[in-house]
Structure 1
Amino acid sequence: MDRLQSMRVFAKVVELGSFVRAATALDLSNTVVTRNLADLEAHLGTRLLNRTTRKLSLTESGQVYIERVRQILAEIDEADAEVSSRSRKASGVLRLCGNASFGQAQLARLLPLYAKDMPDVVLDVTLSDHGVDLVQEGFDVGVFLGVQKFDSSLIARQLAISNLVLCASPDYVARRGEPKSPHDLAQHDCLNFAFEQLRHHWPLQWDDQHINVPIRSRMVSNNGAVLREAALAGMGVMIRSSFTIEDDLTSGRLVRLLKEHHLGQTSVMMVYPSRRLMTWKMRTFVDFMAGQFPQPESDPWLAAL
């Protein structure tokens, strides 16, 4: 008896509720399907299915066995896919969604690298600062910031940590001086996101304490790129995630302030369905992104600074 084949036949009969439909789906004869079930029951020494002329139902033993069989078959299929994916070709449309600021600063740089190795994959990219229902809206993979609750059928995988960075242009620092503590920000011009709760205070993690720092906004905007240009022009001090200003800090266009203190951080998360449900194009993208961030507990954008 081919036990694996008999298990696949049993699972298909249970799934479709019919020997005839299972035979058609598996491209087998009715006789072969019936023989496989009989051999499996003989091997186990118990009946798995109650059969009538109109209906099939699982016995108590069959109910226990089908759960284990499904797990075993899924793991076998996953093992096969893991090995054969190396020789298969990813193709089709890959729908990605991501946080807007991370997408502009990092995905825009990374996606061409992925596309170069996957010429038959068409990238459909949506960036948004609003919440996205990955499954409901038909996305394959999402890249988000912060800790969010996701459907239990999805895998949420941390790619990296991004620290909050207080920064200003060298010109601004030369004119106004460098703050020595967060409380000094009350004497500086601040460039601020246009959220009402941030207009007068910045909630910061000052080492091990959470504090609300009074600030004076010089500019507010709902767009990080606008605030960045204002900071580069010497208009004031801003707080941004490290991944948005890595190049500015490296080149010296912006100066990191209070760098000896921890101001807070956020997680960069990749979310996707279980590997058992992944297409080849999704698998290659997930592996590519994981390879770009080999140390998920660290901040790669501040590593060299």
Structure 2
Amino acid sequence: MAPGNINDIVAFVAAAEAGSFVGAARARAMTRSGIAKSVARLEDRLGVRLFHRTTRSLGLTDDGRVFLDRYTQILADLEEAELSMSDGGGEPQGLFRMTAPMTFGRLLILPLLNDFLASWPRLKADVSFTDRVSDIIEDGLDLAIRIGETRENSSLITRTLTHQHDLVVASPAYLSVAPAPQHPDDLLGHTCLNYVSAGQTRGWRFAVEGKTVVVKPRARLSLDSGEALRDAVVSGAGLAFLPSYVVDQDLSEGRLVAVLTTYAAPPVPISMIYPSRRHLAPKVRRFIDLLAGNI
């Protein structure tokens, strides 16, 4: 990126944050005309209008809002890269953007993220816990967590974090009136609860005679939240297929019982995916290390 381009981006971000060219000029120790010319050059290069201008106000256009998000991240990355090369560098700072599956993120990522932010006061985080698969490059993400086999762009790094072990579980109250299934085929005679993500029902995976078999039981209740599904099973509503990290405590304290354990399918990988960079920014490198050491 040419120096002139960087200066124009700095001027644009300053104007957006100040809400005026005058305020931006004051913040950057520049002239008002210098800020205006930088913004005009940037608009000419991009071929879009970034601001709605009136004699009294300066407002971002829709394109301006999109580019502000991107340019703010670019400037934060440049500042962080410069810091990492200086004495005492390597402190995570700027904006850290990541995504993770909803239940996994809420239960396992969020506690670590809270500690991470508490340790590094110059860092901010923009995190999405969703089962929707994001485009890491297009969405400007630093890190994504994926469950299952991945088919990512070759420019991305994929590193296995851990594995997900799935279990069929039920409450003792439910099993007292409906004998535990002995084979996956027995699920037809049971009340089953399904997890639905992005309109798709999650299959129940079993190992039967050396092969992985995926079953999608007909369910009386389908939910798009793993934690809500766990609550329903604990209440005695039926059988559900849930990750061990959702139900481990319930199993150890007797609120749930695992069934069909002899047919457990091989665990699926949970991976960390991030842009392939020769030198990872400190905020990304340190958070990856934190996840690897605690999950």
Give 5+ residue unaligned stretches, structure 1.
1-14, 17-77, 294-305
Is this contact kept in 1: 2:143–2:284, CA < 8 A? yes
Indicate which of 224, 227, 230 corresponds to 1:228. Answer: 230
> Residue type matched to 2:194 in 1?
N
Q: String of CA shifts for 1:59-115, please: whole Å, max 9, x gaps.
A: xxxxxxxxxxxxxxxxxxx9xx79x89863211111111111211221122212322
Alpha-carbon distance between aligned partners in 1 of 2:87 and 2:150, rounded to the nearest angstrom:
30
Is this contact kept in 2: 1:97–1:127, CA < 8 A? yes
User: Are the structure 2 counterparts of residues 86 and 142 from structure 1 closer, same or farther at C-alpha, using a change threshold of 3 Å?
Assistant: farther
> Residue type matched to 2:98 in 1?
L
> Residue type matched to 2:142 in 1?
D
User: Are the structure 2 counterparts of residues 258 and 215 from structure 1 closer, same or farther at C-alpha, using a change threshold of 3 Å?
Assistant: same
CA shift for structure 1 position 223 = 2.7
User: Are the structure 2 counterparts of residues 260 and 288 from structure 1 closer, same or farther at C-alpha, using a change threshold of 3 Å?
Assistant: same
How many residues end up aligned between the 2 structures? 214
Three-state SS of the structure 2 residue aligned to 1:260 is: helix
Alpha-carbon distance between aligned partners in 1 of 2:176 and 2:235, rounded to the nearest angstrom:
13
Alpha-carbon distance between aligned partners in 1 of 2:92 and 2:204, rounded to the nearest angstrom:
46
| Equivalent position of 2:158 in the other structure | 156
Is this contact kept in 1: 2:205–2:264, CA < 8 A? no
Larger gyration radius, structure 1 or structure 2: 1
Identity of aligned residues (%): 30
| Equivalent position of 1:166 in the other structure | 168
CA shift for structure 1 position 212 = 5.0
Is this contact kept in 1: 2:205–2:265, CA < 8 A? no
| Equivalent position of 1:131 in the other structure | 133
| Equivalent position of 2:243 in the other structure | 241
The question of 1:91 aligning with 2:87 is answered no
> Residue type matched to 1:169 in 2?
S
Indicate which of 89, 112, 115 corresponds to 1:113. Answer: 115
Alpha-carbon distance between aligned partners in 1 of 2:87 and 2:250, rounded to the nearest angstrom:
39
Is this contact kept in 2: 1:183–1:214, CA < 8 A? no
| Equivalent position of 2:149 in the other structure | 147
Query: TM-score normalised to the size of structure 2?
Result: 0.64
Give 5+ residue unaligned stretches, structure 2.
3-80
User: Are the structure 2 counterparts of residues 208 and 291 from structure 1 closer, same or farther at C-alpha, using a change threshold of 3 Å?
Assistant: same
CA shift for structure 1 position 174 = 2.0
User: Are the structure 2 counterparts of residues 194 and 97 from structure 1 closer, same or farther at C-alpha, using a change threshold of 3 Å?
Assistant: closer
User: Are the structure 2 counterparts of residues 197 and 283 from structure 1 closer, same or farther at C-alpha, using a change threshold of 3 Å?
Assistant: closer
Is this contact kept in 1: 2:207–2:263, CA < 8 A? no
| Equivalent position of 1:267 in the other structure | 269
| Equivalent position of 1:102 in the other structure | 104
